[in-house]
Amino acid sequence: MSGHKLEVIWCPVHHDKFILRGSDITLYQVSRLKDIEKKTPYTQISPTRGATVIASQSANNVRCIDVSAIPDLPEPLLALGHSNGRVSLATLKQAYDPLGLVGRDFNTRYPRLCNSLSWSNNESNLLAVAMEKYRSEPCILLWDVNRGTLPPEESTSADSSLVNVDTVKPLAEMGLSETAHSVSWSNWSNRTLLASMNLKHIKIFDLRDWSNKGVVTASGRHVYGVCADPFSGRNLLLSLQRDSNTLRLFDIQQAHNDPNKANVLMDNMAEEAQTATAVEAELAELSRAGGAAGAGGEREAAAPSVLERELAAGGAALAAACWHPAHPARLLAAAHNGAVCELTVCERVTVSWGGGALAWSCGGSLRVLPRARARGAPTTAAGAPPGPDHDDVSHVMRRRAVTDYGLKPDLWQNADLADDEVLSGLWHFLALSKSLVEDGGGGCAQVLGRAREPRVRAAALALAGLAGLGGGGGGAEPLWRDALRLAAPALPDAYLRATLHFLAALHDAQPQPAALSAASLSAALMERDMRLEDRVALACLYLPDDDLREYLTATCAELVERGDLSGILLTGMGAEGVRLLQRWVERSGDVQTAALAAARCLPPELLRAPPAAHWLQEYRALLDGWRLWGARSALDTWVGLGVGVGGAGGVGGEDGEWCARGVSVSCAYCGKPVAAPPAHRRRPRLPPPAAKMKQMSSCPNCRKPLPRCGVCSLHLGGGGARFGGWFSWCVSCRHGGHADHLLHWFQEHTECPVSSCTCHCGSLDPPDRL
């Protein structure tokens, strides 16, 4: 308990000043770094703020201090509690003193340690002092600093103490022959003083009537300190239990200001800040209403729930901390080594994604960042605002899914929808190779020769070809060859580079231009920027067979490893192609293209096997989440076709994901399906259901009538193949009708449309969520 115990206090009036008490009492001024004059020594307490020393004095014999809340003082007024019980008022810096308070002294009759001081915030002239026990003397004294007057020049020496006692009487004296460890004014009503006494009581003094002091006593074990919640309307009281380092929070509003076991809101086994020895000093913050943290004592408290937060405060053990009087969540902390830093406690921000939109909490409110809208949407004049997912693959995939990407009947149509060169290359290749298979020949050159910028490349390759043919006459100077080779990397266009490499290689192989070796051509063939088709074509034209095979195998392996979609050219849509697509998915996240390409082109056995089936499941889940039911059912149709080609009727697969129909409607009398599933469609005696539906009002098998719609009383099945005309029914009461009639009905009713049925079908399955 030496004078070196650190303490920091923000000045309640001067919000930019604080007091640091160690072996000295020092007054600091906090200002922004850029406002601090040059050459002034300052302590940086945060990245933007620094503290400059205004004044300092020795803290000899000073046991406790508090800063007054008296308004309009030019400089912070301090009350100093000395070890002999004397309390003096002082400012650290000489300034005009309009109230003449500076230098006043308040003395007790018998000298003893002064434990705690507290200025009242409501009546700023009241000062409570807590002291040690002395015989039957009161231990809490209440002074009115305006009345306890002593002219400054007289309050000089120790001998004044006896004189003053007679002239200046405290306003109130409490706690006869007791020890008070801490005093603190409450904020919930006027003149209510909290004190912790004798290490075991919390006493609450109601001092509104000096002659009739109300006292509420609550006992607890080892109550060391006590303070009140300064902000909230609830009467919260925080006590520090010394035995267990427990913080106990009482809500005493409900129990007539009686802190007892019944209204302990919480016990917090918190390590006391002063005892924390960890490198990162701990500080518990109990969160407060509204999210924007307020301040209370050393810890914040409010609701019964507790959030404990640890803040890293420099590298040293924390010695003291103080909340800023005005700014929420701003905190000043002092470490044992005397370093001071300012911290700001941020609320715990929660964040969540939902369908491309991002939401996070911010104080008591939420911030929502809507998802990126489709390009060219007419909503805003200055172009669509970028969402958080803008240009992310999820947004791109959604945009493509809306356009029926991958679902067009002709494969090449998808290429234009992709809006991406790599993908459109894939779809073009798939389309061409399909036509190759179907037409049965002649397309090879077409596949390889397909070019996007035919002129540049044709020119380049023609140049290469010409040089190859006419190279014989050009002379084979090594100088020329080296020049070509050196010039190549400088060229921006891959085709020109390849041409030069190729020319150089030709010169190498001058004697037999027809048989170029792989080694000499490698530079040209490794031009990654050149389209794979062209490289392969070049290799096919000029490489000998062995080298060609080797080159193709190596290239293929490399492309699969990189997940480069153009590699489909070499792998085809087989097992190798699946591996390549898997890498593509992992690299780009574009499960859509993989799933669609698989659904359209993979052989059935591969389509049912893990990776492809997995892509399909994931893509279906994505479509579900985007509510793109049309795209999803079209996808399932394609998958059904793809799988159905090989495996006749048993299209279910082991996981049943693509059963042909999930639901079929069967006649209540004969049990036969009313509309035939596609597997039975080819049976000659049943006409196609869509055509039949138009006039169907009875079961096609047994001719019994179909049920009637509960709303329009017509027979079901007469509405054609539209969704709105289809059967729909309540699973509870089994009444039903045409889907659009029911939707319409349940927009206004919850009860079943069938009279005398009281089933609340509408509330069982809310239709507005459909």
Partner 1 sequence: MGEQSISNLFETQTIFADHKDLIHDVAYDFYGERMATCSSDQYVKIWDTDSQGAWRLTGSWKAHHGSVWKVTWAHPEFGQVIATCSFDRTAAVWEEVGDTNSAGSEKGLRTWVKRSNLVDSRTSVTDVKFGPKHLGLLLVTCSADGIIRIYEAPDVMNLAQWTLQHEIPTKVSISCLSWNPSLSKVNPPMLAVGSDEPNTTNAIANVQSDKSTACNGKVFIYEYSDGSRRWSRTECLAAVQEPVNDLAFAPSLGRSFHLLAVATKDVRIIKMEPLTDWNNPNNGSGARFKSEVVAAFEDHYSCVWRVCWNVTGTLLASSGDDCCVRLWKMQYLNQWKCAAVFKNESPTSDSAHAPRPRTAYVRMATMANAAHMPHH
Q: In the range 641-660, which residues lie near partner 1 by CB under 8 A?
A: 655
Residue 451's Cβ-count burial label (10 Å; 0-12, 13-18, 19+) is middle
Q: Which stretch binds partner 1 (CB under 8 A): 144-152, 153-161, 313-321, 566-574?
A: 313-321
Where in 518-537 is the site for partner 1 (CB under 8 A)? none
- Residue 276 CB partners (closer than 8 Å, separation 6+): 282, 317, 318
Q: In angstroms, what is the minimal distance from the CB of 318 to partner 1? A: 12
Where in 577-596 is the site for partner 1 (CB under 8 A)? 582, 585-587, 589, 591, 594-595
365 near partner 1, rule: CB under 8 A: yes
Q: How far is CA 422 from the centre of its chain?
A: 33
319 near partner 1, rule: CB under 8 A: no
40 near partner 1, rule: CB under 8 A: no
Strands 246-251 and 264-269, by their bridges, are antiparallel
| CA pair distance 92, 78, nearest whole angstrom | 8
Element (H, E) at 446: helix 444-449
39 near partner 1, rule: CB under 8 A: no
Q: Do the Cβ atoms of 33 and 43 come closer than 8 Å?
A: no
Q: Which stretch binds partner 1 (CB under 8 A): 80-88, 341-349, 545-553, 735-743?
A: 341-349
Q: In angstroms, what is the minimal distance from the CB of 347 to partner 1? A: 6
Angle at the Cα of 293 from the Cα atoms of 290 and 294, rounded to 5 degrees? 105
* Binding residue (CB under 8 A) for partner 1 from 366, 486, 540, 641: 366
Element (H, E) at 2: none
Q: Do the Cβ atoms of 331 and 324 come closer than 8 Å?
A: yes
Find, among 265, 261, 209, 215, the residue nearest to 237 by Cα. 265
- Residue among 313 and 506 whose Cβ is closer to partner 1: 313
630 near partner 1, rule: CB under 8 A: no
- Residue among 361 and 403 whose Cβ is closer to partner 1: 361
Q: In angstroms, what is the minimal distance from the CB of 489 to partner 1? A: 23
Q: Give me the 177-216 binding string for partner 1, x by CB under 8 A, dash otherwise.
A: ----------------------------------------
Give the torsion through C-alpha atoms of 127, 133, 136, 142, to 10 deg. Answer: 0
Rg of the chain, C-alpha, whole Å: 43
615 near partner 1, rule: CB under 8 A: yes
Q: In angstroms, what is the minimal distance from the CB of 585 to partner 1? A: 5
Q: Which residue has the tokens 């075991």?
A: 200
- Residue among 37 and 546 whose Cβ is closer to partner 1: 37
The CA–CA distances, whole Å, from 143 to 70, 106, 120, 190 equal 14, 8, 11, 16
CA atoms within 13 A on the CB side of 615: 28
Q: Which stretch binds partner 1 (CB under 8 A): 161-169, 475-483, 610-618, 705-713?
A: 610-618
Q: In angstroms, what is the minimal distance from the CB of 256 to partner 1? A: 23
* Binding residue (CB under 8 A) for partner 1 from 262, 368, 466, 469: 368
Q: Per-residue DSSP letters for 295-319?
A: --TTS---SSS--------TTS-EE
* Binding residue (CB under 8 A) for partner 1 from 57, 190, 268, 617: 617
- Residue among 649 and 766 whose Cβ is closer to partner 1: 766
Q: Do the Cβ atoms of 240 and 226 come closer than 8 Å?
A: yes
- Residue among 310 and 404 whose Cβ is closer to partner 1: 310
268 near partner 1, rule: CB under 8 A: no
Give long-range contacts, CB 8 A cutoff, 24+ apart: 750-757: 752/710, 753/710, 753/711, 754/710, 757/733
290 near partner 1, rule: CB under 8 A: yes
Angle at the Cα of 598 from the Cα atoms of 592 and 599, rounded to 5 degrees? 90
- Residue among 290 and 678 whose Cβ is closer to partner 1: 290
42 near partner 1, rule: CB under 8 A: yes
Where in 450-489 is the site for partner 1 (CB under 8 A)? none
- Residue among 307 and 721 whose Cβ is closer to partner 1: 307
Q: Do the Cβ atoms of 754 and 761 come closer than 8 Å?
A: no
359 near partner 1, rule: CB under 8 A: yes
* Binding residue (CB under 8 A) for partner 1 from 625, 646, 647, 649: 625
Q: How many residues in total does the chain contain? A: 770
Give me the phi and psi of 685, to 5 degrees please.
-80, -10
Q: In angstroms, what is the minimal distance from the CB of 278 to partner 1? A: 9
354 near partner 1, rule: CB under 8 A: yes
Q: Which stretch binds partner 1 (CB under 8 A): 66-74, 180-188, 286-294, 452-460?
A: 286-294
23 near partner 1, rule: CB under 8 A: no
- Residue among 275 and 352 whose Cβ is closer to partner 1: 352
The CA–CA distances, whole Å, from 736 to 708, 709, 746, 750 equal 8, 6, 12, 14
- Residue among 50 and 700 whose Cβ is closer to partner 1: 50
748 near partner 1, rule: CB under 8 A: yes
- Give the other-Cβ count within 10 Å of 322's Cβ: 20
558 near partner 1, rule: CB under 8 A: no
Q: Which stretch binds partner 1 (CB under 8 A): 40-48, 150-158, 221-229, 465-473?
A: 40-48
Q: Which stretch binds partner 1 (CB under 8 A): 43-51, 487-495, 663-671, 703-711?
A: 43-51
Element (H, E) at 579: helix 575-588
| CA pair distance 59, 145, nearest whole angstrom | 21
Residue 580's Cβ-count burial label (10 Å; 0-12, 13-18, 19+) is buried
Q: In angstroms, what is the minimal distance from the CB of 389 to partner 1? A: 6
* Binding residue (CB under 8 A) for partner 1 from 275, 352, 446, 522: 352
* Binding residue (CB under 8 A) for partner 1 from 103, 152, 338, 718: 338
Q: In angstroms, what is the minimal distance from the CB of 116 to partner 1? A: 27
307 near partner 1, rule: CB under 8 A: yes
* Binding residue (CB under 8 A) for partner 1 from 214, 233, 383, 385: 385
Q: Which stretch binds partner 1 (CB under 8 A): 307-315, 410-418, 547-555, 716-724?
A: 307-315
- Residue 316 CB partners (closer than 8 Å, separation 6+): 279, 281, 335, 336, 337, 339
Tokens of 307: 């959030």
- Across-strand partners of 18? 10, 28
389 near partner 1, rule: CB under 8 A: yes
